[in-house]
A = this chain, B = another copy of it.
């Protein structure tokens, strides 16, 4: 399950995209708009900075800004930055020791395919796509 960290990271990125004006946007504003605790946002941002998704500036007039255009961020890279690994099973994780049963495992191929499916899904969407998406799109009768 995608945790709040990943979900909030996406919403923060979208917020920064929607309110970008060339300058820096203080997290206080994002926190208010997104109704996420400022303290918790402050824990999420450093990892986004480290992954070069945003740039932070200290002090008055400071805040964060995107480093690229919204359509240049895939959802995948934002989620991976915030969540770490997106592996659906532990044996496919980054630092998983090789499973001794891998050679005979009947389920491993499916998990790999599943992992690919997940990544393609999120790689095929950008922050710009999310900005355009409206919840009403989804009301299907």
Per assembly, the copies of the chain total: 2
A135–B103 touching, CB < 8 Å: yes
- Among A2, A4, A10, A117: residue with most chain B CB under 10 A: A2
Given contacts A11-B106, A106-B14, A121-B117, contact A101 B138 (CB under 8 A): no
The size class of the interface chain A forms with chain B is 35 or more
A137–B109 touching, CB < 8 Å: yes
* Interface residue from B35, B107, B111 paired with A14 (Cβ < 8 Å): B107
User: Which residues of chain B have C-beta atoms less than 8 A from A138's C-beta?
Assistant: 108-109, 112-113
B35–A101 touching, CB < 8 Å: yes
Given contacts A1-B90, A90-B1, contact A135 B108 (CB under 8 A): yes
Nearest neighbor of A8 in chain B, beta-carbon distance: B107
Residues of A in contact with B (beta carbons under 8 Å apart): 1-2, 4, 7, 10-11, 14, 35, 75, 87-90, 101-114, 117, 121, 125, 130-131, 133-135, 137-138
- 19 A-B pairs (CB sep. < 8 Å): A1-B87, A1-B89, A4-B90, A7-B89, A10-B107, A11-B106, A11-B107, A14-B107, A75-B110, A102-B135, A104-B135, A105-B135, A106-B131, A106-B133, A109-B133, A109-B134, A109-B135, A109-B138, A114-B121
